[in-house]
Every structure is written in C-alpha cells, then in structure tokens.
C-alpha cells in the first residue's frame, strides 16, 4: 500500500487511523472479519479503543480466553485480562501501593511481569513463580519510581511470546509530582497508543505463528483496534506509545513533515524535549510524544506514517519480503477547540524534567524490563 494513497474522510470527524494491510479474511459462519484487499473506503474507520483506567490498589485481574472486538463488528478469540484487549490501564502515583490478585483462567501456567516497574523479586512474575491454571497470586509492591509509561504482560518460561501475542498485555502509568508540575496534556488529550502487529487465521482469530526470528504480523492493531481512528481537536496532544510487538520495529513519522516532540521514554521524562522525525520504536519500548495540532487549520489531514521493520530483538535487521511502507496512523485535525491549558512553559522546546542531584535519568529499563533494586 502506498504512503500516498489518498485518504478522504469527508463525512467523518477526525482521527488517528490505522491502515491495515491487504488480505481479506472470512470468519466462520460467514461473518466478515477483516477488510477486502484494498484500502478501506471512507467511513469505515473504527473508533480507537481506549482501555479503561483502573487503580492497582486491591484489583482483581483475571487472565482467560475471551472474545474481543477489533472494531467494525469484527471479533477475535484472544487471551485477555478481564476480558479486555489490551487489558485495563493501571494508573497510580509514586508512593501508592499496588495489590493486584491474578486469577489464572488459562489452560496453562502464567505470571504477570511488570515491565519497567521497580518491584520486589516475588512480585516480578518470574517464570519460576508460575501460577497454575485455576490458581491465584497476589502481586504487591510499593510504587517507588518516577512517572513513566510501563506495561504488564505474562512471563512464563517458553510461553511468553504466545501469551502476549494472543492478547495478554496492558499499560501501567505512573505519575509523580515532577510530571504534575509540567502542565502536560491530560484527560482526552493524553492518549495511550499500544501498537503491535498481528496475524489472523481464516476464521479471523488471532494466531501466533512465529519464525525463528520471532513473530511478524501482517496487520497492525492500535489498542487492539483494526483500522482505528480518533477525533482530535486543535490542541496539544500527548501520545503514550508502546510497541507491544514480539519482533517488529515501528518507524513513525508525520506525513506533513512535522516532527514529534519527544519528552520521555522507557525511563520516564527526559531532561529536555527533543524534536525528532522519524522515530523508531523497538519491541517493549515506550515513547512519550507531544503532537501539536494548534497551528494547523481545521480539516488538515496529518497522517502518522509507519515503516514497519521486522527485526530480531538484539539484532535489528530487515527481513526479506517485509513491508516497509505500511501506513499505520493518520491524524486529521477537525475540531476547533482551545487547548485544554496554556502551552506548557517548559516544553517545545526547553527542559522537561528537572535535573537534580541523585536524579539520574535512566535511559531504558533494561531489555527485559527488570529493574529490581539490590536487596528489594
Ligand atoms: Cu516485558
């Protein structure tokens, strides 16, 4: 599919959309699951799923098979946390305590690993702490780290890739006073984007069919939505982006050439914002991006292009036959509204996070996201 494929949405308010590739799949019983082998016509975009936000304080989390909506009346079997795909977004602040009880409704063992979180060993969901089918496990830990987008997913031995790929993943947002003082976009102006690839069987159900180099899917999902869209206002937006793929690197850019304003990564807020385009995102990595629609006339269409680069973790390289020009997201500025709050004084450009003695900026949480402090 060409990056230049015209995308007109004359009757639609606008959005973030995912252009999904080409092949058509049919569900059992004749229910159409995926689109025909052409760009979907105008008006068929699916509203971007935004997972519900929950507190991790005394929360019951189930992992079990479920049937989940992909948008547009299409459904897939999946493995899901609390029947949601992705799972609910945990939101907590530094100083809170997480108490999450997992109930394993799968037919195999699982754990919950808190990727990027600083947790005690017993709460980290290590493979040796496997929770048997039908079993429960209480993950309890104080939140002792900076504001950051983290995520949670299974980590059982030899089954992690499949369980994550089939749907078990969700976001975990940590807030702190440092972040609160910046006046960043919030509420509807702070949007999680969990981007991943996917493959489907002939019935339209998610399948995990990895090669020796990892799993590479033909389709893109954003927050579990195929061909997603999101209305945006003439405002500053904060996109919390996670690459939830197994082996695919995403390369993101705005089609009008405007840069992203990168304000954070796996380690939380950066010391200063950085204007960058394109930007690459490897599996499990996170980006904290500001996109400014305030200077664009209403009706301006800005696509978020993607260049999907399959890669082997630790050894990024392109694979033969890979799709390297697949459009993923499109942003269409449609609604004239004032920004929710004044332009953050210290952003665009300028310092983001305070540099304080002893407050080193951790860049990356480690490849596997384990950051348990010594003796913890
Ligand atoms: Cu992880």
Q: What is the pLDDT of residues 162-184, one digit of tens each?
A: 999 999 999 999 999 999 989 89
Better-scored residue on pLDDT, 155 or 234: 155
At 56, the pLDDT band (50, 70, 90 cuts) reads: very high
pTM of the model: 0.76
- What does the pLDDT read at residue 296? 66
Residues 253-265 pLDDT 10s: 776 677 889 999 9
What pLDDT, on a 0 to 100 scale, did the predictor assign at position 47? 85
Q: Helix (H) and strand (E) counts for the chain?
A: 2, 23
Distance CA 86, CA 91 (A): 15
237 CA from centroid of ligand 1 (Å): 26
**CA 113 / ligand 1 centre spacing (Å):** 7
Q: How far is CA 337 from CA 297, 307, 308, in A?
A: 11, 31, 33
CA of 8 to the centre of ligand 1 (A): 38
Please answer whether residues 283 and 178 qualify as being in contact, where contact means their C-beta atoms are separated by less than 8 angstroms: no
Domain 13-44+51-180 superfamily per CATH: Cupredoxins -  blue copper proteins (2.60.40.420)
User: What is the whole-number distance in angstroms between the Cα of residue 365 and the centre of ligand 1?
Assistant: 10
329-374 tens-digit pLDDT: 445 444 444 444 434 434 433 344 443 433 333 333 333 333 333 3
Query: 274-283: per-residue pLDDT in tens?
Result: 898 888 889 9
Distance between Cα 35 and ligand 1 center (Å): 31
CA dihedral sign of residues 113, 329, 300, 295: positive
Q: Provide the 3-class DSSP secondary structure of residue 245.
A: coil
How much of the chain is in helix, strand and coil states, percent to nearest 5? Answer: 5, 40, 55
Average pLDDT, the chain: 74
User: How remote is the CA of residue 112 from the centroid of ligand 1, in Å?
Assistant: 10
189-222 pLDDT, tens digit each? 999 999 999 999 999 999 999 998 899 888 889 9
Report how far residue 7's alpha carbon sits from residue 200's, in angstroms, rounded to the nearest whole number.
Answer: 25
Cα atoms in the Cβ-side hemisphere of radius 13 Å centred on 110? 32
Question: 95: closest CA among 59, 141, 63, 130?
Answer: 141
CATH number listed for the domain at residues 187-335: 2.60.40.420
Q: How far does residue 284's CA lie from ligand 1's centre (Å)?
A: 6
So what's the pLDDT on residue 298? 54
Cβ 263 vs Cβ 347: under 8 Å: yes
> Phi and psi at residue 375, in whole multiples of 5°?
75, 10
Q: How many A from CA of 286 to the centre of ligand 1? A: 11
Strand order in the sheet with 232-233: 232-233, 329-335, 301-310, 248-254, 279-281
Place of tokens 């993923």: 328
CATH 2.60.40.420 domain residues, the chain: 13-44+51-180, 187-335
Report for 12-21, 198-207, 227-236, 359-368: range of highest mean pLDDT: 198-207
> What's the 152 CA to ligand 1 centre distance in angstroms?
7
How many angstroms does the Cα of residue 368 sit away from the middle of ligand 1?
A: 5
Tokens of 296: 């664009």
Q: Dig out the tokens for 15 from the structure.
A: 């959005």
For residue 92, what are its two tokens? 């907590």
Place of tokens 């840069």: 259
273-326 tens-digit pLDDT: 889 888 888 999 999 999 887 776 555 545 554 544 433 222 222 222 222 333
Ligand 1 centroid to Cα of residue 303, in Å, is: 29
Q: Tell me the percentage of the chain whose pLDDT exceeds 70.
A: 66
Q: How far is the CA of 11 from the centre of ligand 1 (A)?
A: 40
Q: Is the pLDDT of residue 155 over 50?
A: yes
User: 309: CA distance to ligand 1 center in Å?
Assistant: 20
- Cα of 153 vs centre of ligand 1, distance in Å, is 6
């Amino acid at each position: 599919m060409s990056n230049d494929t015209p995308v007109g949405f004359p009757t639609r308010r606008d959005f973030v959309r995912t252009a999904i590739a080409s092949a058509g799949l049919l569900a059992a019983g004749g229910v159409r699951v995926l689109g025909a082998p052409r760009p979907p016509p105008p008006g068929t975009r699916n509203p971007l799923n935004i997972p519900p936000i929950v507190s991790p304080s005394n929360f019951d989390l189930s992992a079990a098979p479920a049937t989940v909506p992909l948008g547009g009346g299409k459904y897939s079997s999946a493995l899901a946390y609390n029947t949601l795909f992705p799972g609910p977004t945990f939101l907590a602040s530094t100083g809170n305590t997480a108490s999450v009880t997992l109930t394993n409704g799968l037919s195999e063992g699982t754990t919950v690993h808190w990727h990027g979180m600083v947790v005690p060993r017993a709460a980290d969901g290590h493979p040796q702490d496997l929770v048997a089918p039908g079993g429960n496990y209480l993950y309890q830990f104080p939140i002792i780290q900076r504001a950051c987008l983290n995520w949670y997913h299974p980590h059982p031995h030899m089954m992690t890739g499949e369980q994550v790929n089939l749907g078990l993943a969700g976001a975990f947002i940590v807030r702190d006073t440092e972040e609160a003082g910046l006046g960043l976009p919030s509420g509807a102006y702070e949007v999680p984007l969990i981007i991943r690839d996917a493959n489907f069987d002939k019935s339209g159900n998610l399948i995990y069919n990895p090669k020796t180099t990892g799993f590479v899917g033909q389709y893109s999902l954003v927050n579990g939505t195929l061909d997603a869209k999101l209305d945006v206002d003439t405002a500053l937006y904060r996109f919390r982006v996670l690459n939830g793929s197994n082996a695919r690197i995403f390369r993101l850019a705005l089609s009008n050439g405007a840069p992203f304003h990168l304000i954070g990564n796996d380690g939380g807020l950066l010391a200063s914002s950085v204007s960058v385009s394109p930007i690459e995102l490897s599996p499990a990595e996170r980006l904290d991006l500001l996109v400014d629609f305030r200077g664009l006339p209403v009706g301006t269409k800005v696509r978020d292009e993607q260049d999907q680069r399959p890669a082997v973790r630790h050894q990024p390289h392109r694979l033969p036959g890979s799709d390297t020009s697949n459009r993923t997201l499109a942003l269409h500025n449609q609604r004239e509204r004032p920004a929710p709050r004044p332009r953050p004084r210290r952003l665009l450009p300028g310092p983001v996070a305070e540099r304080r003695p002893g407050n080193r900026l951790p860049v990356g949480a480690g490849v596997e996201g384990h950051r348990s402090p010594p003796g913890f």
